[in-house]
Structure 1
Amino acid sequence: MKVSAYPAFTVTAFLSRLVYRNQVWSGVFGELVATFAFIAVWTAAFSGSRNVDGVTLPDMVTYVLIAGPLLNWNTTRYIREVGDSIRNGDVTVFLLKPLHYPALLFFNQLGNNAFEQLTITLPVAVIVALTVGLLPPASPAHGLLFLAFWAVSWCMLFLIATLTGLLAFWLLTAFSLEWFLRGIMALASGAVVPLWFMPGALAALLGHLPFAWVSYYPSAVYLGKLDAPTSGVYLLIGLSWLAALAALAGWLWSRARHRLVVQGG
């Protein structure tokens, strides 16, 4: 199948989500509750302090929105769909078609994520901005760099989730895998606690793992916690991680295809 045909899967995935409108309202409500809960926690933590280690409460309010719903999208639906297709054998349908399954997953998830960003994350951001307030990018340069980091963040989380989902070929279930990834992401990506508040040794370790490029580094760049040259270096490192994870995903899929044939034969 030609590459130009894959965007049709993005459009289809986006339009299919329009059918389940009640999920949008529940998604907005759930995201609002989670976001304001984190804001309340950080407001209490900053009580009586204007800043902690150079970080202010407005910084943390903005960080909560960026590192949470904007960047760290919920992988539960995606991983479970991959796991279910493997468990019930639907994945074999894709092997009979002239397409690349990981590429199909990429463009399909792109449509799902675009829908959630427009219908859930955007309304939540507007409500938070009007009620609590959000900071703009530290500078125009940081704003542009953030857009690049946003793209890296999405691709990084997609590849991590895809690698997790493909393991279902061996475990025949994705439920436990999804819970495992959620726990890892909560700690290692900086979505719950920024790396700048973690012990030095732990922050240094997590700062070199690919998870940090999902939430922490994009948020830090947006807030100006990293200067432009340093941000550029970390962007290159993130791209290197993307290349390594993409190669690993390709290798794992090639092994998974052979394993599927053995199971069916």
Structure 2
Amino acid sequence: MSTYFMFTLKAFVNQLAYRSEVWLRLLGNYFAILIQVEIWRAVIGNGGSASTTVEQMITYSILNTLLFALLLNRVSSKVDGSLKSGSIASELVKPLSYPLYLLFDGLGQSLYQFIFTVIPSLILAWILFGMLPPASTIHFIAFLVALLMALILSFLLGYLVSLLAFWFLSHFALSWTLGGLTTIFSGSFLPLWFYSPSWAAVAKLLPFQYLGYVPAAIYLGNLNEAELWRTVALGCVWIILLLVVAYWLWGKAVRRLIVQGG
């Protein structure tokens, strides 16, 4: 297992070569949060409503903007590059698990983003815009669990896209589709409680809600304790289901690559 942690460390160190990019990311996060804050101030106003206040939506926007930087669904671009260069063949014959290599490599990049982008952006946003504390200790613990689930599910979704690329030899259309579904059903910009009942019901059955809505809604206390643990349980079901599909598709993809290469 230490070998895979070395991949995490290597990915983290590699990111240090792009230190100037940190300032651009901080600036990008600032403007992304600022735009959303001004939109919600214009839509809701300073008073807010009984169910939603502008302070809640500012906190919601901050959490989702920063969560996006940590997600691992961009793993498909790494696999796509290996497929196009042909280096995927040499990577598969190495005495290690390629999926675990992708996971720990992505974790190294997320760790870098967390330390050098997310934490500074969070402090800056808290100073400039204000941010509500967690609804309770239980909600904060569940929020951390939801963050972990968001990382796992984002990796699995990106990994499945990368496996499908073994057949299409390009991940652009697949990644674009995944991005569209995530934008619509994750609730990262517009919370699911603003959706129509039918759309909200669909979104709450899909895994995309864990990439935006669920962590923020738990943090703010918009899910009561019963809904909270039911949502966490459904997320665990999705993780198991996607793991099974990924394991099955991985075997198919490797055989596909061997046949194509042979």
Which TM-score applies when normalising by structure 2?
A: 0.95
2:183 is aligned, of 158, 162, 186, to: 186
Aligned length: 262
8 Å contact from structure 1 (residues 71, 154) kept in 2: no
Equivalent-residue separation in structure 1 for 2:220 and 2:165 (angstroms): 38
1:137 equivalenced with 2:134 (yes/no)? yes
Residue 214 of structure 2 is matched in structure 1 by: 217
The structural deviation recorded for 1:68 is 2.5
Q: Which residue does 2:201 correspond to in 1?
A: 204
How far does residue 71 in structure 1 lie from its aligned partner after superposition?
4.7
Could you say if the C-alpha distance between residues 228 and 72 of structure 1 is closer, same or farther in structure 2, counting changes exceeding 3 Å?
Answer: farther
Partner of 1:153: 150
Deviation at 1:76, TM superposition (A): 7.4
C-alpha separation in 2, matches of 1:133 and 1:56: 13
1:36 counterpart residue number: 34
Matched to 2:226, the amino acid is P
Q: Name 2:15's counterpart in structure 1.
A: 17
Q: Which residue does the alignment assign to 1:247?
A: 244
Give the corresponding residue for 2:79.
82
Asked if the contact 2:187/2:212 (under 8 Å) is kept, the reply is yes
1:139·1:224 contact (CA, 8 Å) conserved in 2? Answer: yes
Structure 2 alignment gaps of length 5 or more: none
Per-residue Cα deviation, 1:115-150 (whole angstroms, up to 9, x for no partner): 111111211111110011001100111111111111
Using the TM superposition, give the Cα deviation of residue 233 of structure 1 relative to its aligned residue in structure 2, in angstroms. 1.6
Out of 110, 133, 148, the residue aligned to residue 113 of structure 1 is: 110
Preserved contact between residue 32 and residue 65 of structure 2 (Cα < 8 Å) = no
Identity of aligned residues (%): 34
Secondary structure of 1:40 counterpart? helix
Runs of 4+ in 1 over 6 A off after TM superposition: none
Matched-pair contact (CA < 8 Å) for 2:143–2:219: yes
Structure 2 residue corresponding to 1:63, chosen from 60, 63, 68? 60
Unaligned runs of 5+ in 1: none
